Amino acid sequence: KAGVTQTPRYLIKTRGQQVTLSCSPISGHRSVSWYQQTPGQGLQFLFEYFSETQRNKGNFPGRFSGRQFSNSRSEMNVSTLELGDSALYLCASSLGGTGGDQPQHFGDGTRLSIL
C-alpha cells in the first residue's frame, strides 16, 4: 500500500509570491491534516479536511488555506509569502472517523524556502 505522497519535495519562492502544495493520502483515507514544522515553533497544526470539508483549523493567518478533492487528495495554498513561512510542511492522512482510534500517517513533507 502506497504511503502519503507529497509534491513537490522542495520549493524555493520569493517574498510576496504564492505557493500550492499537494498531498495524496493513503488509499481509503478520508482525512488529511497539514502541519508546519520549523526549528523555532516545532510542529504546529494548520488544518484538517474530511470529505472535502475543513473540520479543524489551527491558529494560522488567512494566508494559509487548503482544500480537499472528492478523491481525498488535498492542496494547501500560502499567499503573499513571508520569510517566516520557510518550513517543512507535512501532510498526514487517516481514516478519519471520530472515534479517534485511527492514527495519522505522515508524508515526507515539502521543504519550502523563502528568499
Site string for another protein, 1-40 (x = CB under 8 A): ---x-x------------------------x-x-x-----
CB of 7 to another protein, least distance (A): 13
Nearest alpha-carbon partner for 82 in 4, 8, 26, 14: 14
d(CA 72, CA 37): 23
**Residues binding another protein: what is the number (CB under 8 A)?**
30
The one-letter code for the residue type at 88 is L
**CA 112 → CA 1, 54, 99, 109, distances in Å?**
27, 23, 33, 9
Segment near another protein (CB under 8 A); pick from 14-22, 60-68, 73-81, 93-101: 93-101
Residues forming the site for another protein (CB under 8 A):
4, 6, 31, 33, 35, 42-43, 45, 48, 50, 55-56, 58, 90, 92, 94, 96-109
